[in-house]
């Protein structure tokens, strides 16, 4: 535990966003994670993203399951709504919350354990339903909170801190999401906010399910020599496959149009990919999966916004959810009482 | 930019803004922590080491440290550094057995000091413990210089002054009162090994306007510093009801407030320029106005109105200034009736007793040519310091000069070149007490600056020498010490340990850290986490980091020294370490074992 909480200091050097808030207004409680945990950097990147997008704190809903990663919503945007669910159930809770109120921004933070083991089923269905949310997997290859057992994202050749090798093949959440039809898929690294923040911002503005797998080293149990998710290994094996101009920013005139691919988003804004490997089409699942397979064979960790599309209907379209958040509908209409229920039931007899 | 050289003590010294700004480089944060721990004796003695007169300066210092204080960048108001200095003097116990002493065996060298102001006293303070025989020639019959003759007792009680002068004189200085030096040639002939000139800037400036010399009887036009002196010595105890003070510097403030105590009722300070361009410190203006003194701006004195050989008033041009108060034009004119006029427009140096054929050269404004480092004049063995060197300054500058002059005098007497001086040294001590535990109070305390209480206006003028400021209460002290940001507890970085996890950057409440590619200054600054608002403040650039060869950059400007970066660093690449500036004094120039 840090000796003090991060003090709120009225600093002139801090910029204000469109709401007149500074980044300090998006802080949460003091982190209790291990010093140097990648998860804290993801927290900081989320804080920066919502600050830069000028999202009013009370229009944000943050959700999580169980794990060190799942503790992090406490550490950002104290004034937001939040739900800390049981292990692996965040995706289900988020689906329900999203259906009930389409006016909020949803950020789910989960771990590789939370999402790829106990919660895999819920994650799969949230992707299928195209729940309108940003889903962040803080991916460290271990169960950090329970002392460093391998998780389902641990690579085959990697070892535990004590040296035992992992013999079970991994699930790559990016490939999983692509094969389930996700509409926004990215991978990033907690140690590189210059890439992470624009991806989180794009994910927050995307309509539908945005999955971001963030390699997030566990300094305590998985930052050693045998790890393939350590700071050093990630830096040595990272391959930044794509770059893009985020939708909120104006596209500068001198961006070369050759070799760029633009995806028009639901809101009318455009994501422009500015650097892509040859033959790579970020709107074509098959080409992306093929590319990932090829790079995985040479142990490269592919990062960037890897896939984006906007044709697919989201949860609200699919399920014709209420346009008015349920919370704003008068109670009498929302719950007309047992007489009305009786009447309804009569119709089916 | 390449890595910053943090082995040069001046890098970390500059981070301690108050200490850097103090001419004598008083270790402010350390004495504030000592106060917080209730160690008043230690806090007093730490002050004394660098500034010699903590009780006096805790009341009267010009405090260049306060405008520099980092705290002002956070909530607009500096730590009450000066008032806390007074606390050390107010609350300390008997420290007489911890004061420096002179050895019974002298070193055989004789030093003469001219004047017993703060400059000479501080020279004596540094040299007596080394075995020097110090003789002080003073024209008056009491020590202290302008601290006694000009700073009014309602700001500086004589007991405080007496005690701190005595601490030095009791070391065995041979002080000769009523002994004005009238010839340097004669003094040189007495064969002293070195001479220190601490005679101040004793002449108040004249205002030679029409009417100045037309009074026939008793004069009612006074030179400010002479008039204050005659009050101090009890020769003056009254003044007319309507008083005009010409000038708006600190002397003017003492003159108007003294007038108020001697019977003045309608007291006006006449300023040529608009507010914001006054020389007086803001707190002195405040104190004067609190006592009912009126300050009139944009009035340029034109003539003394004398009728039948008696002062009747003064005529002024009314000016209009441009924005920067550089150019003015006359827009009107008026005669202000009055009983007395006090001229407080500055002081000058005067050395009628220094013969001009001794090889001691004078430059502009009749000021001696003095070396800025060694304080030596062009006549080897004759040193200057305090107001005598470069014109009127203040007490803390006099002390700072004196420390340097004492080193030179020592070298000169020992046959070592005066330019052979020890450089500043430093020491860094880790403040880590355990995981997330620091030896200093690292939390940010949002308390506001404590206000100094004053004696009620109703009672304030009952005695001429009633001290106005009451000093801080225990509660005020407890609150004020927590406002200090401990700028001397430095963030020390070891690049080779950093794994570039960003934890420090993410946790820093002041957004002062950045990891980025190295570049030239402008380029690097454009990539900082938060805007760089103060280019005068240090910018730390590390060695290249092991994993990516990027660099850690720290903008020192707004760091609040909370220690969170060091706490959240998994590899202890950051650590919080107390910086201690090792300032060499004359005593440090004595080879150990010899004195
Ligand atoms: C009205 C007024 C108020 C001030 N208030 C403050 C304040 O609040 N804070 C502050 O920091 N500074 C203040 N100052 C300035 C401060 O007092 C001086 O800068 C400081 O005292 C200079 O010290 P010194 O030792 O150089 O000279 P001085 O203090 O001037 O001492 C010189 C001494 O030498 C003696 N002397 C002179 N010539 C001879 C001679 N030929 N032979 C023998 N003795 C001689 C004098 O009698 C005097 O005692 C004030 C000045 C004035 C005029
Ligand atoms: C139902 C249930 N089963 C098991 C656990 C024990 N448990 C707590 S956290 C965790 C794994 C967390 O791993 P991950 O999601 O990767 O989070 P990390 O700590 O690595 O960030 C497990 C298995 C639990 N809390 N609840
Ligand atoms: S155990 Fe690992 S994941 Fe959990 S807080 Fe510590 S470093 Fe982070
Ligand atoms: S001590 Fe460290 S964390 Fe605190 S303000 Fe300074 S650089 Fe930032
Ligand atoms: S917390 Fe420590 S290891 Fe991490 S980036 Fe900062 S200095 Fe480097
Ligand atoms: Mg994990």
What DSSP letter does each residue of B209-241 carry, written as one string? -TTTT---SS--EEEHHHHHHHHHTTS-----S
- Pick from B385, B414, B443: which residue ends a domain? B414
Average pLDDT of chain B?
95
Least confident of A250-264, A315-329, B107-121, B212-226: A250-264
pLDDT on residue A28: 96
pLDDT in tens, B126-171: 999 999 999 999 999 999 999 999 999 999 999 999 999 999 999 9
Domain that includes residue A163, residue range? 23-346
Structure tokens at B116: 């017993």
Domain that includes residue B133, residue range? 99-202+349-414
- How many structural domains does chain A have? 1
Does B319 lie in the same domain as B405? Answer: no
Q: Is residue B383 part of a domain?
A: yes
Structure tokens at A204: 């927050």
Ligand nearest to the CA of B82: 1
Mapping DSSP onto H, E and C, the string for A216-272 reads CCCCCCCCCCCCCCCHHHHHHHEEECCEEECCCCCCCCCCCCCCCEEEECCCCCEEE
Q: Is residue B117 part of a domain?
A: yes
Give residue B65's pLDDT band: very low, low, confident or very high (50, 70, 90). very high
Q: Does B159 touch chain A (CB under 8 A)?
A: no
Q: Is residue A124 part of a domain?
A: yes
Of B278, B229, B230, the closest CA to residue B250 belongs to: B278
Of B201, B314, B200, B309, the closest CA to residue B247 belongs to: B314
- How many structural domains does chain B have? 2
Q: How far is the CA of B89 from the centre of ligand 6 (A)?
A: 59
Angle at Cα B390 formed by Cα B388 and Cα B394, nearest 5°? 75
Does B332 lie in the same domain as B217? Answer: yes
pLDDT on residue A258: 58
The answer on pLDDT for B594 being more than 80 is: no
Does B173 lie in the same domain as B276? Answer: no
Q: Is residue A282 part of a domain?
A: yes
Q: Does B499 touch chain A (CB under 8 A)?
A: yes
Q: Is residue A230 part of a domain?
A: yes
pLDDT on residue B486: 98
Chain B residue with minimum CA distance to A2? B436
Does B184 lie in the same domain as B217? Answer: no
Reported residue count of chain B is 595
pLDDT in tens, A4-50: 999 888 777 788 999 999 999 999 999 999 999 999 999 999 999 99
pLDDT in tens, A77-114: 999 999 999 999 999 999 999 999 999 999 999 999 99
pLDDT on residue A255: 47
Q: For atom 2 of ligand 4, which residue has the closest CA?
A: B565
Angle at Cα B415 formed by Cα B412 and Cα B417, nearest 5°? 65
Structure tokens at B252: 């003017």
Q: Are the C-beta atoms of A242 and A304 separated by less than 8 Å?
A: yes
Q: How far is the CA of A160 from the centre of ligand 4 (A)?
A: 34
Q: Is residue B113 part of a domain?
A: yes
pLDDT in tens, B290-332: 999 999 999 999 999 999 999 999 999 999 999 888 999 999 9
pLDDT on residue A257: 55
Does B225 lie in the same domain as B343? Answer: yes
Q: Does B560 touch chain A (CB under 8 A)?
A: yes
d(CA B136, CA B143): 10
For residues B403-413, b (16+ Cβ closer than 10 Å) or e, as one string? bbbbbbbbbbb
Kindly tell me the sign of the dihedral angle through the C-alpha atoms of B220, B222, B228, B230.
negative
d(CA A181, CA A124): 10
d(CA B237, CA B295): 24
d(CA A2, CA B287): 44
* High-pLDDT (> 90) share of chain B, %: 91
From chain B, pick out residues whose CB is under 8 angstroms from the CB of A8: 509
Beta bridge partners of residue B515, listed in sequence order: B552
d(CA B88, CA B61): 14
d(CA B4, CA B539): 8
Q: Is residue A15 part of a domain?
A: no
Does B238 lie in the same domain as B248? Answer: yes
DSSP helix/strand/coil, B479? helix
Longest CA span, chain A: 69
We report the CATH number of the domain holding residue A249 as 3.40.50.970
pLDDT on residue B451: 95
We report the CATH number of the domain holding residue B284 as 3.50.50.60
Q: Is residue A11 part of a domain?
A: no
Give residue A254's pLDDT band: very low, low, confident or very high (50, 70, 90). very low
Look up residue A130 and give its DSSP letter: T
Look up residue A116 and give its DSSP letter: I
Of B41, B30, B127, the closest CA to residue B408 belongs to: B127
- Pick from B297, B326, B347: which residue ends a domain? B347
For residue B254, give the H/E element and its range. Answer: helix B250-261
Does B354 lie in the same domain as B284? Answer: no
Does B390 lie in the same domain as B294? Answer: no
Does B109 lie in the same domain as B161? Answer: yes
pLDDT in tens, A130-147: 999 999 999 999 999 999
Question: Is A41 close to B502, i.e. CB distance below 8 A?
Answer: yes
Provide mean pLDDT across the span B358-380: 94
List, as ranges, residues 418-447 from B with C-beta within 8 Å of A: 436-438, 442-444, 446
Q: Is residue B108 part of a domain?
A: yes
Distances (CA, A) of B537 to A8, B11, B516, B526, B582: 22, 10, 19, 16, 22
- Is residue A345 classed exposed, middle or buried when 0-12, 13-18 and 19+ CB atoms within 10 A define those classes? exposed
Does B383 lie in the same domain as B336? Answer: no
Scanning the structure block, which residue is given the tokens 């020279």?
B123
Q: Is residue B438 part of a domain?
A: no
Look up residue A196 and give its DSSP letter: H
Q: Is residue A14 part of a domain?
A: no
pLDDT on residue B492: 98
Pocket lined around ligand 1, Cβ cut-off 6 Å: B 60-62, 114-120, 137-140, 145-147, 150-151, 180-181, 198-200, 202, 225, 228, 250-251, 254, 353, 386-388, 392-396, 398
Q: Strands B266-270 and B133-137: what pairing?
A: unpaired
d(CA B251, CA A60): 61
d(CA B14, CA B11): 6
The answer on pLDDT for A253 being more than 50 is: no
Does B331 lie in the same domain as B212? Answer: yes
DSSP result, B122-162: HHHHHHGGGT-EEEEE-SSSSS-THHHHTS-TTTS-HHHHH
pLDDT on residue A259: 65
Does B105 lie in the same domain as B186? Answer: yes
Ligand nearest to the CA of B551: 5
Q: Is residue A2 part of a domain?
A: no
Structure tokens at A93: 């809770």
The rounded radius of gyration (Å) of the Cα atoms in chain B is 27
Ligand nearest to the CA of B501: 5
Q: What values do phi and psi take at B174, rounded to 5?
A: -95, 95
Strand order in the sheet with A301-308: A81-84, A60-64, A105-111, A133-139, A209-215, A184-189, A301-308, A238-240
pLDDT in tens, A301-333: 999 999 999 888 999 999 999 999 999 999 999
pLDDT on residue A250: 52
Beta bridge partners of residue B407, listed in sequence order: none
């Amino acid at each position: 535990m840090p000796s003090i909480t991060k003090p709120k200091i009225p600093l002139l050097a801090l910029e204000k966003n469109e709401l007149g808030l500074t980044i300090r207004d998006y802080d949460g409680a003091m982190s209790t994670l291990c010093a140097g945990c990648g998860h804290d950097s993801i927290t900081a990147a989320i804080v920066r993203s919502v600050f830069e997008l000028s999202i009013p704190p009370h229009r944000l809903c943050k959700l999580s399951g169980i794990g060190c990663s799942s503790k992090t919503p406490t550490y950002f945007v104290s004034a937001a709504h939040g739900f800390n669910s049981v292990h692996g159930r965040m995706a289900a809770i988020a689906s329900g919350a999203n259906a009930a109120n389409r006016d909020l921004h949803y950020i789910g933070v989960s771990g590789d354990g939370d999402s790829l083991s106990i919660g895999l089923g819920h994650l799969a269905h949230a992707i299928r339903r195209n729940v309108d949310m940003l889903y962040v997997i803080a991916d460290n290859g271990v169960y950090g909170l329970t002392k460093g057992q391998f998780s389902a994202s641990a690579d085959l050749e990697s070892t535990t801190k004590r040296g035992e090798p992992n013999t079970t093949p991994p699930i790559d959440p990016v490939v999983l999401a692509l094969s389930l039809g996700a509409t926004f898929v990215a991978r990033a690294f907690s140690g590189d906010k210059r890439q992470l923040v624009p991806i989180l911002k794009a994910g927050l503005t995307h309509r539908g399910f945005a999955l971001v797998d963030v390699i997030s080293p566990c300094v305590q149990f998985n930052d050693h020599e045998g790890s393939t998710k350590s700071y050093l290994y990630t830096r040595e094996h990272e391959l930044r496959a794509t770059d893009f101009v985020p939708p909120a920013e104006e596209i500068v005139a001198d961006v070369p149009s050759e070799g760029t691919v633009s995806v028009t988003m639901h809101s009318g804004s455009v994501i422009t990919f500015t650097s892509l490997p040859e033959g790579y089409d970020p709107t074509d699942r098959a080409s992306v999966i093929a590319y990932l397979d090829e790079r995985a064979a040479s142990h490269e960790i592919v990062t960037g916004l890897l896939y984006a599309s906007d044709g697919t209907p989201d949860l609200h379209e699919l399920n014709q959810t209420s346009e008015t958040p349920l919370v704003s509908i008068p109670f009498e209409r929302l719950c007309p009482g047992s007489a009305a229920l009786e009447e309804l039931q009569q119709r089916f007899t | 930019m390449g890595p910053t050289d943090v082995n040069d003590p001046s890098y970390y010294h500059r981070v301690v803004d108050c200490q850097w700004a103090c001419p004598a480089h008083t270790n402010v944060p350390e004495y504030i922590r000592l106060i917080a721990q209730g160690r008043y004796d230690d806090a007093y003695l730490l002050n004394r080491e660098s500034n010699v007169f903590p009780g006096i300066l805790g009341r009267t210092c010009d405090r260049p440290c306060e405008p520099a204080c980092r705290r002002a960048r956070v909530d607009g108001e500096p730590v009450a550094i000066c008032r806390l200095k007074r606390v050390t003097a107010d609350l300390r116990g008997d420290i007489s057995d911890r004061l420096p002493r002179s050895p019974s065996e002298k070193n055989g060298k004789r030093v003469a000091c001219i004047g017993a102001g703060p400059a000479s006293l501080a020279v004596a303070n540094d040299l007596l413990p080394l075995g020097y025989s110090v003789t002080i020639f003073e024209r008056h019959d009491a020590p202290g210089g302008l601290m006694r003759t000009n700073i009014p007792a309602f700001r500086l009680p004589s007991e405080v002054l007496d005690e701190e002068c005595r601490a030095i004189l009791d070391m065995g200085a041979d002080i000769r009162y009523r002994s004005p030096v009238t010839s340097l040639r004669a003094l040189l002939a007495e064969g002293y090994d070195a001479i220190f000139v601490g005679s101040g800037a004793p002449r108040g400036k004249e205002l030679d306007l029409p009417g100045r010399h037309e009074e026939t009887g008793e004069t009612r036009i006074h030179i400010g510093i002479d008039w204050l002196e005659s009050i101090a010595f009890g020769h003056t105890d009254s003044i007319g009801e309507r008083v005009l003070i010409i000038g708006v510097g600190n002397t003017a403030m003492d003159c108007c407030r003294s007038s108020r105590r001697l019977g003045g009722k309608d007291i006006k300070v006449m300023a040529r320029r608009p507010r914001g361009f006054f020389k007086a410190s803001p707190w002195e203006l405040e104190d004067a106005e609190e006592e009912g003194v009126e300050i009139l701006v944009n009035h340029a004195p034109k003539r003394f109105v004398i009728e039948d050989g008696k002062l009747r008033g003064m005529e002024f041009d009314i000016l209009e200034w441009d924005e920067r108060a550089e150019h003015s034009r006359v827009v009107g004119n008026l005669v202000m009736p009055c009983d007395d006029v006090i001229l407080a427009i500055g002081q000058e140096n005067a050395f009628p007793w220094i013969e001009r054929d001794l090889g001691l050269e004078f430059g502009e404004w009749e000021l001696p040519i003095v070396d800025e480092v060694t304080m030596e004049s062009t006549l080897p063995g004759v040193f200057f310091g305090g107001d005598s060197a470069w014109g009127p300054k203040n007490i803390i500058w006099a002390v700072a000069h004196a420390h340097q002059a004492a080193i030179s005098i020592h070298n000169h007497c020992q046959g070592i070149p005066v330019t052979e001086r020890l450089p500043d040294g430093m020491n860094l001590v880790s403040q880590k007490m355990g995981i997330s535990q620091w030896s200093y109070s690292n939390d940010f305390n949002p308390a506001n600056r404590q206000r100094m209480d004053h004696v009620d206006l109703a009672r304030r003028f009952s005695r001429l020498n009633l001290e106005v400021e009451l000093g801080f209460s225990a509660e005020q002290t407890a609150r004020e010490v927590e406002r200090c940001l401990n700028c001397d507890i430095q963030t020390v970085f070891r690049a080779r340990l950093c794994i570039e996890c960003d934890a420090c950057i993410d946790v820093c409440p002041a957004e002062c850290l950045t990891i980025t590619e190295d570049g030239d200054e402008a380029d690097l600054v454009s990539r900082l986490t938060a805007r760089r608002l103060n280019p005068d403040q240090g910018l730390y650039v590390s060695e290249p980091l092991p994993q990516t060869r990027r660099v850690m950059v720290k903008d020192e400007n707004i760091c609040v020294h909370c220690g969170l970066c060091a706490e959240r660093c998994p590899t202890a690449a950051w650590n919080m370490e107390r910086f201690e500036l090792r300032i060499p004094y004359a005593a440090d120039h004595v080879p150990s074992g010899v004195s």
